[in-house]
Amino acid sequence: MSTYIFLRHGHSAANKEGLLTGQLPGICLSPVGRKQADQLISRIGKGIIDRVHLSPIERCQLTINPWLQSPHSKSITSLEINDGFSEINFGEWSGKKLSTLRRNPLWKSVQESPSQVTFPGGESFKKAQKRAVVSLQEIRSIRGEKVHLIVSHSDTIKLVVAHLLGMKLDEFQKLEIAPASFTVFSGDSKKLSLVTINNSGNLKEILG
């Protein structure tokens, strides 16, 4: 069996400011997020990860950099940028304050019926879920028992988890994925089982 570890990026400057940034470039980690990134050196540990799959968004790279630059990362055999695990393209909503967006009539649909939502000038939840699931399926087709670390975003991870658990897309907002948390699945190309979700612990303890 292989193991698939989803890691949400650390707390970002946009999180601190209450902004919805989506795929906008140049969003760095907040001081809290930088501390979380440093803590990942010990939380991920050494000799565990075989392959790393990164969202192209900068805050994901910044989150995993301390671990990649540490001796603990010597176990990895592959590191790739995977567009399928990118953040949702929020289109015209990108860069706006959440406090303002909550007053938009579309916000209710985002929370209650996301399967029907396409962001103005951006992406639909359905499309984002499909691309992320396709990317995961491609990783699952890799031969051999491997431990994969996938560094991504809250909504993207939630959409994948909802799919794997057989949840309706409209229920995915019930899930919680905190900054720098681990969500882990294990299994083969036919079936995956949830090991943990939204876990802030150490991988050695999570994986046993």
Determine the longest span between alpha carbons in the chain, in angstroms.
50
Q: Taking the domain 2-207, which CATH number applies?
A: 3.40.50.1240
Given this model, what pLDDT does residue 34 score?
98
Cβ contact 125:159 at 8 Å = yes
Tell me, what's the pLDDT at 33?
98
Instruction: Please give the DSSP secondary-structure letter assigned to residue 10.
Output: P
- The full length of the chain comes to 208
Write down the pLDDT at residue 189.
Answer: 80
Residue 120 Cα distances to 106, 167, 194, 201, angstroms = 10, 25, 34, 38
Residues 6+ apart with CB under 8 A from 207: 3, 48, 184, 195
For residue 159, the model assigns a pLDDT of: 98
- pTM of the predicted model as reported, rounded to 2 decimal places: 0.97
Dist. CA 102–CA 7, nearest whole Å: 27
Secondary element (H or E) of residue 182: strand 182-187
Instruction: Check residue 190 and give its pLDDT.
Output: 85
Q: What is the pLDDT of residue 144?
A: 92
Q: How many CB atoms lie within 10 A of CB 122?
A: 18
Residue 141's pLDDT is 93
Instruction: Give me the sign of the Cα torsion angle 151, 205, 36, 18.
Output: positive
pLDDT for the residue 96: 97
Q: Which residues of the chain have pLDDT under 70?
A: none
Tell me the HSE value of 84 on the side-chain side, using a 13 A CA sphere. Answer: 17
Written as six digits, the tokens of 83 are 């567009």
Burial class (CB in 10 A: 0-12, 13-18, 19+), 206: middle
